[in-house]
């Protein structure tokens, strides 16, 4: 295991698990805040995995995930604004 895979593992366990706990246990807006942070962290995990596994073309997935998670977070916030 190289340092990139180690960093990805640490982010996966230490980063996403607290966000899932926050999203499940707190109110809806706090869940949206956790979602705001979870998207970029998942994208960073993909970036670290593609570097660590020497699959460099797969970094496109990280870029696409960052863009799509941004749009998704905005839509979730708009739905919450409308009282859904």
Partner 1 sequence: MSSVLVAALLIAGVAIELLCCLGVLVMRGPYARLHYTAPAGVGALLIAIAVVVRQGFSLIGNKALLLAVFVLVTAPVLSHVTARAARIRELGDVVEPGFDHFHETGEEPR
Tokens of 19: 């966000």
> Minimum distance between the CB of residue 69 and partner 1, rounded to whole angstroms?
9
d(CA 48, CA 45): 5
Eight-state DSSP code of residue 84: -
12 scored as a contact of partner 1 (CB under 8 A): no
Tokens of 60: 């496109």
d(CA 22, CA 78): 20
42 scored as a contact of partner 1 (CB under 8 A): no
> Minimum distance between the CB of residue 68 and partner 1, rounded to whole angstroms?
11
Binding residue count for partner 1, defined by CB under 8 A: 45
- Given 1, 5, 21, 42, the residue binding partner 1 (CB under 8 A): 21
């Amino acid at each position: 295991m190289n340092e990139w895979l180690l960093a990805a593992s640490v982010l996966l366990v230490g980063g996403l698990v607290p966000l899932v706990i926050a999203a499940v246990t707190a109110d809806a807006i706090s869940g949206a805040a956790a979602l705001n942070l979870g998207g970029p962290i998942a994208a960073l995990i993909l970036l670290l995995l593609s570097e660590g596994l020497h699959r460099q073309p797969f970094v496109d997935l990280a870029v696409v995930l960052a863009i799509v998670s941004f749009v998704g977070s905005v839509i979730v916030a708009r739905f919450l604004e409308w009282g859904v």
